[in-house]
Amino acid sequence: MASQDWVDKDFYKILGVSKDATDADIKKAYRKLARQHHPDQNQGDAGSERMFKDVSEAYSVLSDSEQRQQYDAIRAMGGGARFTAAGAGAPGGSAGFEDIFGNLFGQSAGPRTRGGNGYSNLPPEFADLFGGGGGFGGGFDAPPRKGADRTASTTISFAGSIKGTTIGLREPSGEVIDVRIPAGIKDGQKVRVRGRGQSGPAGNGDLMVTVNVKDHPIFQRDGDNIKVHVPVTFPEAALGAQIEVPTITGDLVKMKVPPGTPSGRTLRLKGRGVSTPKVTGDLLVTIDVVVPQNLSKEAAAAVEAFAAATADANPRAGLAAKARL
């Protein structure tokens, strides 16, 4: 069995204790460092893995009164001595580095091995470091985890997003998973279906469903508000009118168009937007003044009369001045 130099290693410094530290001090320091640098807590961290090995080696020597006495003597001499493993017929019978560290992890000097329940054969007094029960190894179990989440996507109608709906997602096995879509859901939001993800020791993960919402012919969503463009005639815009406006519930509600309303002005109908348990939005009605394409003789004559009556009005007055650079 190969031998291992200890003279170059300051076990007291590794554990962060003084040379006159008590057994209780050494045990407390090891417990803290072992918990901090345990591989299950620092997967893939080579530095923590080396530190865990070093503190375990330091504790295995300093916690044993005979080994600690030999170690202190060698350090006091300034080097030159080596601890080697005593074979079956070796004189003296003192355990060397390989035997001590090998016994610590259940094998002769070499890398740690894992049993079915984690890193095995740490000192039994530290079996509870990571919340396990008694015995070697069980104390270092990582907590059981749920299975991984799965993802899916679906597309629903605009009406389904406003009112809420239920859709069915078919598994490759043919099973259909019912997914309840809440009222007021927005395009791109996700719905969680609990327990329909991958299986794991602590239960199944969840299914995360991304919901896409189809466009509507006239309604557009803006947060919790709904936008809609409503056409009006020139007389309605000029003289004012009471018009009917469609809503997302399918009802027609009456709205007053004030006299002189220009095309593009937006009027607000309170409480006619998206309704959720937390808030209800508004309906934002943008007025579009429609210019007639084909006028009868009577209508044309009426427009001409209107033009003559309003000849002094110039909507472009001052525009040229504003346009100068």
CA 219 to chain centre: 32
**CATH fold match for the domains 11-140 and 220-290:** no
User: Could you tell me the fold of the domain covering 11-140?
Assistant: Helix Hairpins (1.10.287)
CATH 3.20.20.70 is held by the domain 220-290: no
Tens digits of residue pLDDT in 82-117: 333 333 333 344 444 333 333 333 333 333 434 444
Q: Which helix (H) or strand (E) holds 26?
A: helix 23-37
pLDDT at position 2:
29
For residue 185, give Cα distances in angstroms to 27, 39, 68, 151, 192.
57, 43, 68, 18, 13
What number of other Cβ atoms are within 10 A of residue 152's Cβ?
16
Both structure tokens of 311: 């000849």
pLDDT at position 6:
63
pLDDT at position 77:
67
Query: pLDDT below 70 — which residues of the chain?
Result: 1-7, 77-142
pLDDT at position 146:
87
Tens digits of residue pLDDT in 112-150: 434 444 444 455 555 555 544 443 344 445 678 889 999
pLDDT at position 128:
54
CATH of domain 150-213: 2.60.260.20
In this structure, are residues 17 and 25 in contact, taking their beta carbons and an 8 Å threshold? yes
For residue 121, give Cα distances in angstroms to 68, 134, 155.
21, 11, 55
Measured between alpha carbons, how far is 137 from 124 in angstroms, rounded to an integer?
A: 9
pLDDT at position 318:
87
Residue in the block written with tokens 């080097």: 79
Instruction: Give the domain ranges of the chain.
Output: 11-140, 150-213, 220-290
